Structure 1
Amino acid sequence: MIDVVLKKGKEKAVLHRHPWVFSGAIEPVKGKPANGEIIRLLNAKKEFLAYGFYNDQSRVAVRLLEWDENTPVDDNWFRDKVRTAVAGRAHILADGRTDTCRLIFSESDYLPGLIVDKYAGHLAVQVLTSGMQAAMPVIIDELNTLLKSESIFDKSDATSRAHEGLETTNVLLAGNQPPELVMVKENGIAYGINIAEGQKSGFYCDQRENRLTLANYARGKKVLDCFSYTGGFTLNSLQNGAVQVTSVDSSALALETLQENIRLNGFEDTKHDAIKSDVNVQLRKFRDEGEKFDIIVLDPPKYAPSRSALDRASRAYKDLNRLGMQLLNSGGLLATFSCSGAMDMETFKQVLAWAALDAGKQVQFVHQFHQPEDHPVRASFPEGEYLKGLLCRVW
């Protein structure tokens, strides 16, 4: 096993169990470890610190796995981590009202670069690091042993794979090709999930608890669900008695699936409109038409993929939320989210304060939204906390 040596004074984060070591923190490597190979990380005194995946193409040159020198990172190590992660989600699926959740969440489950989502009897995986790519045969075998899934589908199409020297993939890894729409349940609501062609791994199960929370306010209300995708907030609002819901998304495929989900749940007789449009364009159109709503959901894609993009992203979040605030009836509710890890909650609150000032509105923060427990945040890896949101009362 090849040794990688840290520069003097660069071991603090490693000792605190942070799993990333950046390329600038290491000495020139003696030998040539393959990308994805497991190496020994040493301090400047050549003392053992941890085992980790190495990749000389990535800014994160080493992704740490194990800090006990006497615990080898072998097939049994990976199997144990998979078993632990899967067992920790069993209670989420126990009551039968939900059969979809995230089973493995990358660094937060001690498997950097691996995401596994369960959709009823099917699994969708995303492999984002070269080290995890090399470990996939044993991981797939363990997942099959534990879950006896009908299929395991590889949705590793994230652009971040390019930083690891990996090509994107979208292929069946095990079992039978999943149907065009996999039927799942979340909070007792039925969804059709397009694993092969849907965004990310096919569905956003990180909003499960937040959809349920917001739905408690929906009875008798007129709701606007922006960036609706396949209708998570839409369906929960209809289920809980919203008098009208309008869903806006730029994806025709997502809206087709949403309409199928409306039918699946018997909501054909409810007042629902689906609009294919850029959300910012549509919000301005609603404003110009004098349209008003009681509840507005703003759940945009990641505006700040890195800290360097935060200023630009903050302006985009401010403009989006300003438009939303202008469309609310007095005392209405704005449920607004950011899935940008670089955007912390305090900055997000400040952005909303600026948006309120520009919109000429008063805003109260009445609830904070978070990612659910199947997306845990590891104490030594705060970067795992990416989803945050606020429920705002707007006057």
Structure 2
Amino acid sequence: MASLPRVIVKPRRARPFFARHPWLFVTSIARVEGEPKPGSEVEVFSHEGQFIARGLFNPNSAIRVRLYRWDGGALDDEFWAKTVAAAVRLRREILHLGGPGAGYRLIASESDGLSGLTVDRYDRWLVVQFTSLALFERRELLLGLLAQEPDIEGILSRPDRTTAEQEGIRPHEDVFHGTPPAAPVEISENGLTFWVDLKGGQKTGFYLDQRENRRAVAQYCQGKRVLDLFTYTGAFALNALKHGGAESVLGIDSSSTAIEVARHHAVLNQLGKARFESADVFDALETIRSGSDRFGVVICDPPKFARHPRGVEDALKGYLRLNRAALDVLEPDGILVTCSCSGLVERGLFADLIGQLAELSGRSIQILEQRGQAPDHPVSASCLETEYLKCFVCRVS
């Protein structure tokens, strides 16, 4: 068997990769020996000649090699099958997720040793996103493995267009394998029913990573008027009513389509105290501030503000502006729930931002809870960048 092309790491750059970090950036590479094709298998060595791992090469990406195997074995069909099976076991045997109407993350990319592959399960359907050229080229094998999941009727492969461009994945449309659902898929979360549009919804259709946080935040809402900003299809708001005993909730989102779905969810779950409005969040906060309405709980769960390292500073300014405006409509001794799904904004930076918020507002802030993503979105100890979601529950004087 012919030897594989070799990628040699620069001096004093190899330690993270021995520690199983899966991203080898082009800036850490000294040279490439051989002529690996896009998506092909390579071996990675330290500058001193010590074997580190096997990975998949992509000359189009800043992540030049994604690492998958550190024991020297091949990245063959058996390896992919075992790695997918390990991810499934976590959800089924340890987290005990599943059953009719279940919605959860089945494969969480780097966190499951499958860098570049995200899979969410919604009842009897899977939604797959490839963010790696190499795994996209192995999609028939991977989709075949996923099709072996019990009770699966169909698999939708959706492109993440931003990442596809960065990875050099050719443009493609949604592809269905099996039978598509005849209507939006119904899932159950914390005893509530939600509709998920697999093709048109944001990300894979629903924000599964906030499941535990929505239930936890509800306990602070008893008897309170709740404002849910960037409500999307109303999950935080409806959990506050059903499980928290909120006096009322108002959900605001710029997407009129999402708001219509949120209103449907309120009817579906018989939660008539829920109100939803389509508006720009910052404009809505200014309108509320200028009036007399104030809320006992304000929830801020905005979309990702930082998509690349050079955007972190602007993202922090955006979070500060948003939360400063949120405090202006929060009652004394109210609860601020503020979230960031920007992985590039580290938890420490986000905590520092809360301190700046206290200084600017002249109000004391106590952080009651620091939460993260649900356990079906695990954090890899070797790749702490996978801890992307921050959810801070704060009491504000």
**TM interval, short-chain normalised:** over 0.9
The residue correspondences of 1:8-157 to structure 2 (distance < 5 A) are 8-69=11-72, 71-90=73-92, 91-94=94-97, 99-157=102-160
1:246 and 2:250 aligned: yes
Give the aligned partner of residue 330 of structure 1.
332
**CA deviation profile, 1:8-63 (whole Å, cap 9, x unmatched):** 33221111111111112223434332211111112234432210010111111001
Distance 2:97 2:24 in 1: 38
Report the CA distance shift for 1:195/1:97 in structure 2 as closer, same or farther (over 3 A).
closer
1:177 and 2:180 aligned: yes
Distance 1:231 1:169 in 2: 31
Unpaired runs of 5+ residues, structure 2, are none
TM-score by length of 1: 0.95
TM-score by length of 2: 0.95
1:256 and 2:241 aligned: no
Distance 1:376 1:139 in 2: 21
CA contact (8 A) 1:319 1:355 kept: no
Question: Percent identity among equivalent residues?
Answer: 35
Report the CA distance shift for 1:170/1:220 in structure 2 as closer, same or farther (over 3 A).
farther
Letter in 2 for 1:126: Q
- What's the CA shift for 1:169? 3.9
- What's the CA shift for 1:199? 0.4
3-state SS, counterpart of residue 125 of structure 1? strand
1:198 and 2:201 aligned: yes
Report the CA distance shift for 1:211/1:98 in structure 2 as closer, same or farther (over 3 A).
farther
Moved more, 196-205 or 33-42: 33-42
Give the aligned partner of residue 369 of structure 1.
371
Report the CA distance shift for 1:95/1:142 in structure 2 as closer, same or farther (over 3 A).
closer
Unpaired runs of 5+ residues, structure 1, are none
- What's the CA shift for 1:364? 0.9
The structure 2 residue matched to 1:224, chosen from 216, 223, 227, is 227
CA contact (8 A) 1:93 1:100 kept: no
Distance 2:131 2:109 in 1: 9
**CA deviation profile, 1:134-180 (whole Å, cap 9, x unmatched):** 22211111111123411111122240221110145442331112233
Letter in 2 for 1:107: E
Letter in 1 for 2:276: A
- What's the CA shift for 1:377? 0.8
Report the CA distance shift for 1:224/1:170 in structure 2 as closer, same or farther (over 3 A).
farther
3-state SS, counterpart of residue 182 of structure 2? coil
CA contact (8 A) 1:8 1:44 kept: yes
